[in-house]
Structure 1
């Protein structure tokens, strides 16, 4: 069952055949939520290309555009979109975009309850596939529009406990997993979905780690949806 937060509609995790698995690319928001049963995340992980990690040379956040660009043109920036999606008891300031308060009832990474207050937030919006990791596994060769899309795709974004998230850095599944073991299958399935959608590769150690986690949940669904893989032309990145 896909979990709903704050009354928002979360991406539909689609049941896919074990062979010919494909991540559907659709419009609209969607993020990696807790799921159980039904789909072949393991098969999708097995289909990811394996290569060595490229040098980090040339990476900067600006290569992925201005932070939290409104690529879906709903007049709210991406950060606030994800806060509205993932928090409960949301309050706004100056309209219905800027989230001033909310409750992360169960942080997916730690399992803790976290209160969000604008300006002194204990909540991060995490890129499930870190942008630096993406850069080293294919994104450095993309056109800017695709990098901007990845940085703002709800499929790759999740509201989480800031202190736990800071320990992740740009780690992949081989070097970092959520401390909350109950969320690891969903987390790894989300990384697989994002890497498959955008054509990113994985290292041999990363694929092994993904498969080890997914072996504990062989029926794990593969999240789908999110935004298109190219941002509108009006957005620019270095």
Structure 2
């Protein structure tokens, strides 16, 4: 009598490995939303808040209106005072980092389970270097594109923010008017520098950068270091009227 062939059954560990592999594939490569064009990346409309965040940032600031003062604060700078990094302060369900990526990148694909919030891939036309950078979300790749505070948090702290309430500090740290998706190494090079120490490598962006820096300072009532104002004035002299 012929022997009955035994059916092969997967062991529990092997089955778990397969399920995990499928879940990872769906997480990274599953169905996604897409978007082909970037939104307006400079000075999007601000809504203001009960904490005193400004209703908008001037796009053509008057450098003469800036208040000059050396760096000072009532306490040492501490990033934690500005609240959790990339909080969802506007209540749209997406954290601030992804809000900025959605605004600044093109050819975006979202993580399948994120309801159009978590950017999985995209392309950044970097304003600081002029390069086009492919963004791929992951522990080894996400840092290629970073979110820069145009006016660094520590700079703001030294120029008036140290007296603010916690809610206003958190609003400032997440204000899209002060945020840009940029080349990671360029952001690291900038660190907490003001315009006297660092300007974008792409010279054609200098006028815009100075306007953004000055506009944020004016909107939030922050002062500017004399050397930074001098650097911005030199750039501004060569900008279109």
What's the Cα RMSD here?
2.2
What is the CA deviation profile of residues 163-209 of structure 1, one whole-angstrom value per residue up to 9, with x for unaligned ones? 11110010001110000000010011000110000000001111111
Which structure's CA Rg is the greater one? 2
What is the CA deviation profile of residues 113-143 of structure 1, one whole-angstrom value per residue up to 9, with x for unaligned ones? 1011112120000000000111111111111
The offset of 1:13, in angstroms, is: 8.5
Report if aligned partners of 1:6, 1:84 keep a CA contact under 8 Å in 2: no
The offset of 1:98, in angstroms, is: 0.4
Give distance in 1, aligned partners of 2:180 and 2:38.
16
Tell me which residue corresponds to 2:117.
97
Tell me which residue corresponds to 1:141.
163
Report if aligned partners of 1:50, 1:201 keep a CA contact under 8 Å in 2: yes
1:190 equivalent among 184, 188, 212: 212
4+ long deviations beyond 6 Å: none
- Map residues 1-238 of structure 1 onto 2, 5 A cutoff: 6-10=37-41, 25-26=55-56, 40-41=60-61, 44-54=62-72, 57-93=75-111, 94=113, 95-104=115-124, 106-119=125-138, 120-121=141-142, 122-219=144-241
Report if aligned partners of 2:122, 2:136 keep a CA contact under 8 Å in 1: yes
Give distance in 2, aligned partners of 1:128 and 1:40.
16
Give distance in 2, aligned partners of 1:157 and 1:211.
22
Distance 1:67 1:210, change over 3 A: same
Distance 1:189 1:73, change over 3 A: same
Instruction: Flag structure 2 segments of 5+ consecutive residues without an equivalent.
Output: 1-35, 46-53
Tell me which residue corresponds to 1:17.
none
Report if aligned partners of 2:44, 2:177 keep a CA contact under 8 Å in 1: no
Which of the pair has the greater relative contact order for Cα pairs under 8 Å at 6+ separation?
1
Report if aligned partners of 1:40, 1:218 keep a CA contact under 8 Å in 2: no
Report if aligned partners of 1:127, 1:156 keep a CA contact under 8 Å in 2: yes
Give distance in 2, aligned partners of 1:131 and 1:144.
13
Distance 1:184 1:56, change over 3 A: farther
Which has a greater percent of helix? Answer: 2
**Aligned residue pair count:** 193
TM-score of the two chains, using structure 1 as the length reference = 0.76
TM-score of the two chains, using structure 2 as the length reference = 0.75
